Amino acid sequence: MSRIVFIGLGNMGLPMAANLVRAGHVVTGLDLSGDALARLVEAGGRAGTSLAEAVADAEVVVSMLPEGRHVEAVYAGEEGVFAHAPHGCLFIDSSTIHVESARKVAGMAAARGFDMADAPVSGGVGGAAAATLTFMVGGSDTAFGRAEPILAAMGKTIVHAGASGAGQAAKICNNMILGISMVAVCEGFALAEKLGLDAQKLFDIASTSSGQCWSLTTYCPVPGPVPTSPANRGYTPGFAAAMMLKDLKLSQDVASAAGQATPLGAEAAQLYRLFVDQGNAGRDFSALFEFLRGGKSA
């Protein structure tokens, strides 16, 4: 059992923190939203009153924040985690952020004598609630060894991807594949509709055929075939379109820096840019289906 501070209790962070509570850890949450803090308290956690006070006796800090700028501010800001964490505290950032941003923060942690792992996740809100996430971890062997038992309370598959930033590299590649595959599945269902083919029939066939993928079988973007998918609840996230756009932009940044052509990744990034610009930032990323078929968007 560890004293854990969990920073960022959003769609992902709240159920992850609740699983740490369930595993017997003492979890103090921090978030800008009082509602999120109240929900952690309902799940058996504690609401932190300030970062300085919460972190002062923490053994582990886990963060699940939107973007790299939030992660950098929370850890390295004047009143951030580095300024208040006790010697020996372990830091685990599970947000999806730029590889360079992760390396920068981990480097600052190392310079202050702390172990830090980047440990982004795959599996979505469903995986976060069920503690079945996949963690892809970047950091030293020591940081990985210390992080693994904490991550085990929130996930099923934990892979040490390599040194600092390797977890983010894996996540960015994975989500570029996801963004592209979601566009493909949306296009398939939009075309089926125009051809007069029933969505359930396409699902029954494609989900057992070569078109089968996670975007289809777990996260189907049309209402009906997968009752738990966001399409059945008005496309409330889940995984917001703004987050997918962020990840696709990250993929294009690193692809251009690495000199690797990713034409479908570039196309998917452009489509999500258009979709988000039309007021859909807060809708689930699978709502792209409505946009592609020319129907309603927010």
Active site residues: 171
What number of other Cβ atoms are within 10 A of residue 288's Cβ? 29
Nearer to ligand NAD, 164 or 174 (CB): 174
Nearer to ligand NAD, 65 or 199 (CB): 65
DSSP state of 278: I
Q: Environment class of residue 257 by beta-carbon count within 10 Å: exposed (0-12), middle (13-18) or buried (19+)?
A: exposed
Nearer to ligand NAD, 139 or 237 (CB): 237
Q: Which residues contact 26 (CB under 8 A, 6 or more apart)?
A: 1, 2, 3, 4, 46
What's at 116, amino acid-wise? M
Per DSSP, the three-state class of 29 is: strand
As measured in angstroms, the least distance from the Cβ of 186 to ligand NAD is 17
* Contact residues: ligand NAD, CB under 6 A: 7-13, 30-33, 36, 64-66, 70, 74, 95-96, 121, 124-125, 238-239, 243
CA separation for the pair 117, 132 (Å, rounded): 19
Nearer to ligand NAD, 6 or 114 (CB): 6
As measured in angstroms, the least distance from the Cβ of 198 to ligand NAD is 29
Are the C-beta atoms of 192 and 259 separated by less than 8 Å?
no
CA 31 to chain centre: 16
Nearer to ligand NAD, 96 or 215 (CB): 96
Are the C-beta atoms of 14 and 7 separated by less than 8 Å?
no
The two three-digit tokens of residue 62, written as one number? 């886990």
Are the C-beta atoms of 220 and 231 separated by less than 8 Å?
yes
**Cβ-closest residue to ligand NAD?**
10
Nearer to ligand NAD, 33 or 209 (CB): 33
As measured in angstroms, the least distance from the Cβ of 226 to ligand NAD is 15
As measured in angstroms, the least distance from the Cβ of 175 to ligand NAD is 8
The CA distances from residue 97 to 19, 93, 120, 195, 294, in Å, are 23, 9, 8, 40, 32
The two three-digit tokens of residue 233, written as one number? 């609840």
Q: Tell me the Cα Rg of the chain.
A: 20
CA separation for the pair 110, 19 (Å, rounded): 28
CA separation for the pair 237, 221 (Å, rounded): 12
As measured in angstroms, the least distance from the Cβ of 197 to ligand NAD is 29
As measured in angstroms, the least distance from the Cβ of 65 to ligand NAD is 5
